[in-house]
């Protein structure tokens, strides 16, 4: 078993109202010094068996077609640890 993480974030040029809402709330709540906040999604996938290049290629494809909307989102696939 291994964990693969897919982080999906809106592209930098796409407006992120959720992140903006968080950023604007921070000073009101007493937190200063944060100039920007972006909010995205994190998927933790538990993979059966070892994570080789073929498995990573499949997950890359999965992220591209299903987990992220690549018109407006970027994604990163990371192996987070074998168990």
* Site for a copy of itself, rule CB under 8 A: 1, 7, 9, 19, 22, 25-26, 29, 31, 33-49, 55, 58, 62, 65-67
81 phi and psi angles, rounded to 5 deg: 155, 135
Give min distance, CB of 43 to a copy of itself, in A. Answer: 6
The residue among 44 and 71 lying less far from a copy of itself, judged by its C-beta, is 44
For residues 48 and 2, give the distance between their C-alpha atoms in angstroms, rounded to a whole number: 7
For residues 36 and 20, give the distance between their C-alpha atoms in angstroms, rounded to a whole number: 7
Give min distance, CB of 71 to a copy of itself, in A. Answer: 19
The residue among 36 and 71 lying less far from a copy of itself, judged by its C-beta, is 36
The residue among 58 and 70 lying less far from a copy of itself, judged by its C-beta, is 58
Please state, in angstroms and as integers, the Cα–Cα distance from residue 36 to each residue in 6, 8, 41, 63, 76, following that order: 22, 17, 17, 26, 20
């Amino acid at each position: 078993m291994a964990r693969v993480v897919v982080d999906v974030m809106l592209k930098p040029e796409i407006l992120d109202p959720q992140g903006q809402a968080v950023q604007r709330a921070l000073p009101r709540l007493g937190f200063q010094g944060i100039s920007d906040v972006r909010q995205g999604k994190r998927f933790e996938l538990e993979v059966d068996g070892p994570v080789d290049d073929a498995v990573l290629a499949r997950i890359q494809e999965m992220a591209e077609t299903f987990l992220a909307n690549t018109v407006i989102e970027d994604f990163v696939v990371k192996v987070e640890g074998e168990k």
